[in-house]
Chain A
Amino acid sequence: MRKSYKKYYALFVIPTLAAYAIAFVIPFVMGLGLSFCKFKTLKHAHFVGLSNYIYVFTQNSGFLGALWFTVKIAVVGVVTTNLIAFGLALLLSRGLKGTNFFRTIFFMPNLIGGIVLGYIWQLLLNGILIKLTGNDLTYSATYGYWGIILLYNWQKIGYLMIIYIAGIQSISSELMEAAKIDGATYRQTLHSIIIPLVSPSITICTFLALTDCFKMYDQNLALTGGAPANKTMMLALHIYNTYYNRKGFSGIGQAEGVVFTILVLVIAGIQLKISRSREAKEV
């Protein structure tokens, strides 16, 4: 049997590997190179050294604004999605009636694309806001901010919930039973057994939510498009606009993209390290 696995190894790995190389590795390396060039199309790129990066850090005020807005979204977005998802997971892993039905329902928003969601939520939120305040989403950056948070929660909670449910279900029933026999209250069980034992899931979920928030583009584009006056513009959208809105700025947009990648890598790395170390201590 093992032999036949080996025989088919290449058949299954090569297509994926090729797709990964074509769609990710090669463009990434090319992109890295282009961030040191002034270019319009790939055929006519001129090397300009570090000047793109110098511009990004010295003259491009919008970049920092977008970064700050993204950080604000990420902090609140990561906390809310994970708390709510974990709460739902607890609720839906207690064998209540209709559990599967509710799990499906909560998971479904995740299957809809971000652009579609963005436009649907724009209609919904505008409808409510106009009724209540007489203004729409474009009126204030606060509206846009909470709109994005709401949309992101609605979309992501179901996905994280499934991961948490899997984590909770993998806790051995003997442990839970032992805790019950020892007279632990639900609160104590939650605190001393469930949370420590699902901490691998917590690591995954916070990682997913964090990187997701930083990379968010389509939801942002469809829901607010940066309105009012670029105040709700997140990093990814800002990079896109830099790339296309000004003549000859492709290289600078590219450099922003590289800075962005490094930033996400560093932040995600730190987050992984912290939550991993907690895992090791508590289990």
Chain B
Amino acid sequence: MKKKQALATVLAVSMVGSMLAACGSTQSSDTQKSEAAASAETTAEASEASTEAESTASAETTEASASAAPSDYKGTIRWLNFKPEVADQMQDVAKAYTDETGIKVQIDTAASNTYQQTLTARMDSDEAPSIFVLTGATELAEWKDYCRDLSDTQLNSWLTDSKYSLKDDDGVWGISYGLEGWGIIVNKGITDKYFASSNKSTDYTSLDDLYTFDALKAVVEDMQSMKDELGIEGVFGSTSLKAGDDWRYQTHLMNQPLYWEWGGNDKIDLNGKVPDFTFEYNENFKNILDLYLNNSLIDKSLVGTKTVDDSMAEFALGKCAMIQNGDWAWNTIANTDGKTVKDEDVVFIPITCGVEGEENMGLNVGASQYMCINSDLPEEDQDAAIAFLEWLFSSETGKKLVAQSLQFVTPFTTMADAEYTNPLFASENDIASKGKTAYCWAANLIPDDQWKNDYGASLLEYAQGQKDWDKVVKDAVDEWKVEADIVNNQ
């Protein structure tokens, strides 16, 4: 009887233990992890549970390996990373800092398109991030209670231009860690083949001629008719208008009409209120969208099933010659299995849409992600986080990691001598050196996701031939009024 009772107790205990362990492995919170470790009875089980939890939570705390730590800070610096494409590289950064200073750094990465959700949840937890990312002024309004004023930090003094910070009259609340540029990414190998072909029917001879919409359109349509000769399935990759994958069009491509409507770099205040919007340049937007849709490797009725990744893979495999995306796409292209496009062939040309003066314009370049320090944490945690960031953007190790592993083009003077490996950065510099002006990120002033998602859905219906362009424009303008009101008056 005694034996049986003992057995029952063991069973019960192990049941409870495994229940908690299972908890830890599905939830991405580290409290669960330590709970599981604490309550599971046998050590073997405990260690198993915690390793499992670690791998699924995509969070990794690199333990202090060196015993000689120059700092007496005992806490953990937590960075809630915005960019899933560098999630692994960020872990290297954390490890490098821990190796050098003994301070623990934990990087958590929010899944694509879920940053705000993840941030909201984490801010309420005991392990709130010390460094988090905001994407613009409209988000600052919501999170200002949590932002530390960074005006007196070295980071702020290193900025090459104060427009790369998120600020208002009271202070500097966020500092950009990466300038991103986007335009049309071209596989130069294929376009060179076209320019050299005797069958072509245009007079253009190089990518340098493609700085106006008329030229781009003529070349693209000619290339589309010669696709067999060029060995491609279509000039443009799939226009990914699947819900959640439509940001290249509902946000990024909108930069062009918004920029022109609001009067260009000098007149747009990226830290200001959401301006009025009449979609004055809607015909121009339609021009370029139609060009994408009609000269693609898929029929335009199928764009609702395509994702950004599909599109990047098509480009990497050489099935198409052009896609619209930004320099962040390089990692995806470079890591595609069976990639055929050569590194040196990956270059940018600007997006053009038929507006007068666009031949002098270059890429869209701007800061869209700002690092903020959580002011809700104790002072020492905030200071440690700032020290970490200063190390990252000024020490030799840090700079190398930023430039070659994370591949951020930072707006800091300390990073001026960094060497980059991303070929798209070289192309950006090349275009800037030709004296072309960069478009600022006017699209950062789009009121909210509600507008973006509904507009994206509208574009999909247009592509499928179910919605007139006039109706697309009208809906976009009407909804803008509603959303802008909500954002400006909150």
- Give residues in A with beta carbon < 8 Å to B: 8, 11-12, 15, 40-44, 126, 130, 134-139, 225-230, 241, 244-250
B179 adjacent to chain A (CB < 8 Å):
no
Which residue of chain B lies nearest to A15 when distances are taken between CB atoms in the complex?
B16
A-B contact count (CB 8 A): 92
Q: Judging by beta carbons under 8 Å apart, are A245 and B453 in contact?
A: yes
Q: Judging by beta carbons under 8 Å apart, are A245 and B466 in contact?
A: no
B169 adjacent to chain A (CB < 8 Å):
no
B487 adjacent to chain A (CB < 8 Å):
yes
For B56, the chain A residues whose CB sits under 8 A away are: none
Which residue of chain A lies nearest to B449 when distances are taken between CB atoms in the complex?
A245
Q: Judging by beta carbons under 8 Å apart, are B305 and A126 in contact?
A: yes
C-alpha spacing A15/B466, complex, angstroms: 55
- Taking residues whose C-beta sits less than 8 angstroms from the other chain, chain B's interface range is 35 or more
For B145, the chain A residues whose CB sits under 8 A away are: 40, 44
- Subset of 19 A-B contacts with CB under 8 Å: A15-B16, A40-B145, A43-B123, A126-B305, A134-B301, A138-B243, A139-B304, A139-B466, A226-B243, A227-B242, A229-B454, A229-B457, A230-B454, A247-B138, A247-B490, A248-B142, A248-B486, A248-B490, A249-B486
Identify which of A8, A40, A137, A225 contacts B142 (C-beta below 8 A): A40
Q: Judging by beta carbons under 8 Å apart, are A130 and B16 in contact?
A: no
Which residue of chain A lies nearest to B23 when distances are taken between CB atoms in the complex?
A19
Which residue of chain A lies nearest to B123 when distances are taken between CB atoms in the complex?
A41
The 8 lowest CB-CB distance pairs between A and B, nearest first, are A138-B304, A245-B449, A245-B450, A229-B457, A225-B243, A248-B490, A41-B123, A42-B124
- Give residues in B with beta carbon < 8 Å to A: 12, 16, 19, 116-117, 120, 123-124, 138-139, 141-143, 145-146, 242-244, 299, 301-302, 304-305, 376, 447-450, 453-454, 457-458, 460-461, 464, 466, 483, 486-487, 490
Q: Judging by beta carbons under 8 Å apart, are A247 and B304 in contact?
A: no
Which residue of chain B lies nearest to A4 when distances are taken between CB atoms in the complex?
B5
Identify which of A40, A44, A227, A245 contacts B304 (C-beta below 8 A): A227
C-alpha spacing A230/B458, complex, angstroms: 10
Identify which of A135, A226, A246 contacts B449 (C-beta below 8 A): A246
For A241, the chain B residues whose CB sits under 8 A away are: 450, 453
C-alpha spacing A40/B141, complex, angstroms: 11
For A229, the chain B residues whose CB sits under 8 A away are: 454, 457-458, 460-461
Q: Judging by beta carbons under 8 Å apart, are B483 and A246 in contact?
A: yes
C-alpha spacing A43/B124, complex, angstroms: 7
A239 smallest CB distance to B (angstroms):
13
Q: Judging by beta carbons under 8 Å apart, are B460 and A245 in contact?
A: no
Which residue of chain A lies nearest to B453 when distances are taken between CB atoms in the complex?
A245
Which residue of chain A lies nearest to B8 when distances are taken between CB atoms in the complex?
A8
Identify which of B376, B460, B490 contacts A43 (C-beta below 8 A): B376
C-alpha spacing A246/B141, complex, angstroms: 12
Q: Judging by beta carbons under 8 Å apart, are B461 and A40 in contact?
A: no
For A11, the chain B residues whose CB sits under 8 A away are: 12
A134-B299, A245-B450 given; name 16 further pairs at CB < 8 Å: A8-B12, A40-B143, A41-B120, A43-B124, A126-B305, A135-B302, A136-B304, A136-B305, A139-B304, A227-B460, A229-B457, A244-B117, A246-B487, A247-B138, A247-B141, A248-B486
B484 smallest CB distance to A (angstroms):
11
Q: Judging by beta carbons under 8 Å apart, are B464 and A139 in contact?
A: yes
B126 smallest CB distance to A (angstroms):
12
For A136, the chain B residues whose CB sits under 8 A away are: 301-302, 304-305
For A226, the chain B residues whose CB sits under 8 A away are: 243, 457
For A227, the chain B residues whose CB sits under 8 A away are: 242-243, 304, 457, 460
For B302, the chain A residues whose CB sits under 8 A away are: 130, 135-136
Of A134, A136, A139, A229, chain B has the most CB atoms within 10 Å of the CB of A229
